[in-house]
């Protein structure tokens, strides 16, 4: 019900990749903002902290709401859109000129985290949904374990 279920594996691998990106923002965001974008260390740390707070809380909550209301409980559709938007935000952040305003840097980092946390929140739900009721907790735990392996790579 868990290990042979392709949907659980898709959720796990997605969560693995999402955690690499999430932890890269958390671990390297301040360094990139200070060394390559010329921001003050306090401002850079505040931007990364806001990305965790705003992105984590609002991104996860809104992704769940949109999944239920707009996509009629189709977790992977909302997750795919969040992934595309996170990729777009990270691409725009990467292409942002070195002398760009700190506001643009902050907006793009926070939006990236917002969409990344949306996907992250949906991965466990998707795994639970596509496993049976008896295996919902096991599938969610399996997806979580795969995600935490990503911390090694990050």
Give residue 70's pLDDT: 95
From 154, 36, 52, select the one nearest 105 (Cα to Cα): 36
Confidence band (pLDDT; 50, 70, 90) for 5? confident
Report whether pLDDT(11) > 80. yes
Confidence band (pLDDT; 50, 70, 90) for 67? very high
The whole-angstrom separation of Cα 8 and Cα 10 is 5
The whole-angstrom separation of Cα 89 and Cα 42 is 23
The whole-angstrom separation of Cα 7 and Cα 32 is 35
The whole-angstrom separation of Cα 32 and Cα 35 is 5
From 16, 76, 82, 31, select the one nearest 55 (Cα to Cα): 82
How high does pLDDT run on average in the chain? 91
Confidence band (pLDDT; 50, 70, 90) for 37? very high
Give residue 117's pLDDT: 93
The whole-angstrom separation of Cα 20 and Cα 107 is 20
Mean pLDDT of 66-95: 94
Give residue 129's pLDDT: 84
Mean pLDDT of 9-24: 90
89 and 108 in contact (C-beta within 8 Å)? yes
Report whether pLDDT(153) > 80. no
Contacts 24+ apart (CB under 8 A), 32-38: 33/105, 33/109, 36/98, 37/96, 37/98, 37/100, 37/102, 37/105, 38/98, 38/99
Give residue 136's pLDDT: 87
């Amino acid at each position: 019900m868990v290990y042979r279920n392709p949907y659980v594996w898709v959720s796990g691998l997605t969560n693995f990749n999402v955690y690499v990106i999430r932890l890269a923002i958390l671990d390297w965001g301040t360094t990139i903002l200070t060394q390559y974008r010329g921001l003050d260390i306090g401002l850079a740390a505040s931007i990364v902290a806001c990305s965790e707070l705003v992105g984590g809380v609002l991104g996860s909550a809104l992704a769940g709401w949109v999944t239920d209301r707009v996509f009629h409980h189709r977790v992977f559709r909302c997750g795919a859109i969040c992934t595309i938007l996170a990729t777009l935000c990270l691409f725009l952040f990467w292409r942002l000129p070195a002398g760009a305003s700190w506001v643009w840097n902050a907006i793009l980092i926070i939006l990236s985290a917002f969409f990344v946390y949306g996907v992250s929140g949906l991965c466990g739900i998707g795994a639970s949904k596509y496993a049976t009721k008896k295996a919902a907790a096991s599938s969610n735990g399996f997806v979580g374990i795969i995600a935490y392996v990503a911390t090694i790579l990050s």
